[in-house]
Chain A
């Protein structure tokens, strides 16, 4: 397992890919934190007025990261779908299967490497978002003393776990479409089209769907379910069920399907 993880890391760790993704992720995180702090005194995109008082609470430090969690999820989906799909289109999966004929072991190693990659990216995003929040808060008159407290540190940890769980949920969707479509372009476009416009439209037309659609549940998870119809635990359980189903389909397809590309 370690061997397959380290092998996959050769691809994920190449500088252009790693630092390119890192730059995108930290830019998004910084943007989220800065815009969230600058929105103090104004209404956010949901029409809720953002005040310095609410931002001063211990969970205020993670508001910026949570605001862009959907974009971080998109990065998780796109990276996973592209990496898995590219193995088929480049034909590199053939070589890998000849070197590691236990297909499930190979897939698990790939998944662990992708989990590690996403975890590192979200960690970097968290650090940048927190740092940017601390930097901008005084400008907008937000008191940061609660952010330094134990409760504040706990919120940072919880926020990281929530955003990571959400991003890994998106990555699971990316894994599924990568194996189903066997092409990075098709996998990324179909994955994004489903997770963003399709689910958003469905949940806007019929609001109860937001409590059941996977991507909407992942958004709820990233925000700790604050302001969502569905509860945190319920969202977590439903996400786990969806991910288990997606992983089961992926495993069957990866293990049983002929490798012809």
Chain B
């Protein structure tokens, strides 16, 4: 009666199962999460389509995509809740077909905090602690970590959304996980709650725990994560360090002549020097946006000065992660409000395969 649950590898015939196991790819030693061609189909629809994920050990990694992109389905596969239709996955070095090998070292909150409504917060944690053979001390410890001690003996139904989220995180922290997987942990939280969660996640990641946080709010991920996995329509768009993605974005410089009337001349001048200049916008107040890295600012200033154009301001414009995401996804997600951008042809082709380019905007730094 103790047979493993699992999610056995599909599409492998019984007779060839042993051979198939021998043929399993081996993940690099420094990855907490690793997958190759991970796929989940529901009928003819592919929710997750051949995703290759590599999350390094110790990373605070963001898992980003619009609603319906396949984030939760991927997380469910990684946690052994659903079986992949194809592909391989490893978590903490163990294949996802055998979740018992790693789940004792994984804490997770998937699809929001789900607890028994009739039980108190403490009783809900006690139930999970008993399953993990943990004592009541650990329950009290995790309640304290998320600041719920004073309300621990109230029913779960009486909790605010923020408190429910914190209880969910407490449940995930119960086993002192090496890998913490959180699905939209800041959903529904007020700004103070979001700051608290952000701070908690940073502290946890600082303690050598690998944290994998899914979110559709890129601004959220950008502020807390150092590593990023982006998906859309079940397919991987990008993965790597956040700085890599930002560096791959098209940096711009905003030049503002002292006299707005000089803007057109300045734009033509910069074009003559082979630079790509965005068409002027009504709202630009005479500013000229040129596609160039921050390091060229001094040269541009000289060009303007040599042409007799005094600059009132010169600033670098670095795209946010959200803008990069909007470029990649076409800004179609209802949770993200696309901002206008003057350049419709910004390319992030180096890192984002097949990304549609449109509707991105800039951030002055």
List the interface of chain A (C-beta within 8 A of B).
Answer: 3-4, 6-8, 10-11, 14, 16-17, 86, 90-92, 94-106, 108, 255, 258-260
Known contacts: A104-B3, A104-B5, A259-B81. The answer to whether A98 contacts B108 by CB under 8 A is: yes
Closest 4 A-B residue pairs measured CB to CB?
A: A91-B114, A103-B5, A99-B131, A258-B82
- How far is it, in angstroms, between the C-alpha of A110 and the C-alpha of B31 when the chains are bound? 35
Determine whether the beta carbon of A90 is less than 8 Å from that of B115.
yes
Determine whether the beta carbon of B100 is less than 8 Å from that of A101.
yes
- How far is it, in angstroms, between the C-alpha of A168 and the C-alpha of B100 when the chains are bound? 31
Which of B122-130, B195-203, B213-221 interfaces with chain A?
Answer: B122-130
Where chain B touches its partner, the secondary structure class is: loop
- Residues of chain B lying within 8 A (CB to CB) of residue A14: 118-119, 123
- How far is it, in angstroms, between the C-alpha of A92 and the C-alpha of B116 when the chains are bound? 7
- How far is it, in angstroms, between the C-alpha of A259 and the C-alpha of B114 when the chains are bound? 14
8 contacting pairs across A/B (C-beta < 8 A)? A92-B116, A99-B103, A99-B132, A101-B99, A102-B2, A255-B3, A259-B76, A260-B81
Determine whether the beta carbon of A258 is less than 8 Å from that of B3.
no
Known: A103-B6, A104-B2, A259-B81. 13 other contacts (CB 8 A): A7-B131, A8-B127, A10-B127, A11-B118, A17-B118, A94-B110, A95-B114, A96-B131, A98-B80, A98-B103, A98-B108, A100-B132, A259-B82
Determine whether the beta carbon of B111 is less than 8 Å from that of A91.
yes
Question: How extensive is the interface on chain B, given as a class?
Answer: 35 or more
Asked whether any CB of chain A lies closer than 8 Å to the CB of B171, the reply is yes
Shortest C-beta distance, B118 to chain A (Å), equals 6
Pick the residue among A7, A95, A102, A103 that contacts B130 (CB under 8 A): A7
Within 8 A of A (CB), among B1-50: 1-6
Shortest C-beta distance, B133 to chain A (Å), equals 5
- How far is it, in angstroms, between the C-alpha of A227 and the C-alpha of B174 when the chains are bound? 56
Determine whether the beta carbon of A10 is less than 8 Å from that of B115.
no
Determine whether the beta carbon of B5 is less than 8 Å from that of A255.
yes
Pick the residue among A99, A101, A102 that contacts B128 (CB under 8 A): A99
- Residues of chain B lying within 8 A (CB to CB) of residue A86: 116
Asked whether any CB of chain A lies closer than 8 Å to the CB of B293, the reply is no
- Residues of chain B lying within 8 A (CB to CB) of residue A98: 79-81, 103, 106, 108
Asked whether any CB of chain A lies closer than 8 Å to the CB of B318, the reply is no
- How far is it, in angstroms, between the C-alpha of A124 and the C-alpha of B357 when the chains are bound? 71
- Residues of chain A lying within 8 A (CB to CB) of residue B115: 90, 92, 95
- Residues of chain A lying within 8 A (CB to CB) of residue B3: 102, 104, 255
A108, closest chain B residue (CB): B1
Known contacts: A10-B119, A94-B81, A99-B132. The answer to whether A104 contacts B114 by CB under 8 A is: no
Pick the residue among B4, B81, B110, B133 that contacts A102 (CB under 8 A): B4
Where chain A touches its partner, the secondary structure class is: helix
- Residues of chain A lying within 8 A (CB to CB) of residue B118: 11, 14, 16-17
- How far is it, in angstroms, between the C-alpha of A10 and the C-alpha of B126 when the chains are bound? 8
- How far is it, in angstroms, between the C-alpha of A4 and the C-alpha of B132 when the chains are bound? 9
- How far is it, in angstroms, between the C-alpha of A104 and the C-alpha of B1 when the chains are bound? 6
Determine whether the beta carbon of B100 is less than 8 Å from that of A95.
no
Determine whether the beta carbon of B132 is less than 8 Å from that of A102.
no
- Residues of chain A lying within 8 A (CB to CB) of residue B103: 98-99, 101
Asked whether any CB of chain A lies closer than 8 Å to the CB of B117, the reply is yes
Asked whether any CB of chain A lies closer than 8 Å to the CB of B83, the reply is yes
B8, closest chain A residue (CB): A256
- How far is it, in angstroms, between the C-alpha of A14 and the C-alpha of B136 when the chains are bound? 17
- How far is it, in angstroms, between the C-alpha of A108 and the C-alpha of B131 when the chains are bound? 13
- Residues of chain A lying within 8 A (CB to CB) of residue B81: 94, 97-98, 258-260
- Residues of chain B lying within 8 A (CB to CB) of residue A99: 103, 128, 131-132, 174-175
B131, closest chain A residue (CB): A99
- Residues of chain A lying within 8 A (CB to CB) of residue B174: 99
A17, closest chain B residue (CB): B118
Pick the residue among A11, A94, A105, A258 that contacts B116 (CB under 8 A): A11
B128, closest chain A residue (CB): A99
Determine whether the beta carbon of A90 is less than 8 Å from that of B117.
yes
A96, closest chain B residue (CB): B131
- Residues of chain B lying within 8 A (CB to CB) of residue A4: 130-131
- How far is it, in angstroms, between the C-alpha of A103 and the C-alpha of B131 when the chains are bound? 12
- How far is it, in angstroms, between the C-alpha of A158 and the C-alpha of B234 when the chains are bound? 60
B4, closest chain A residue (CB): A102
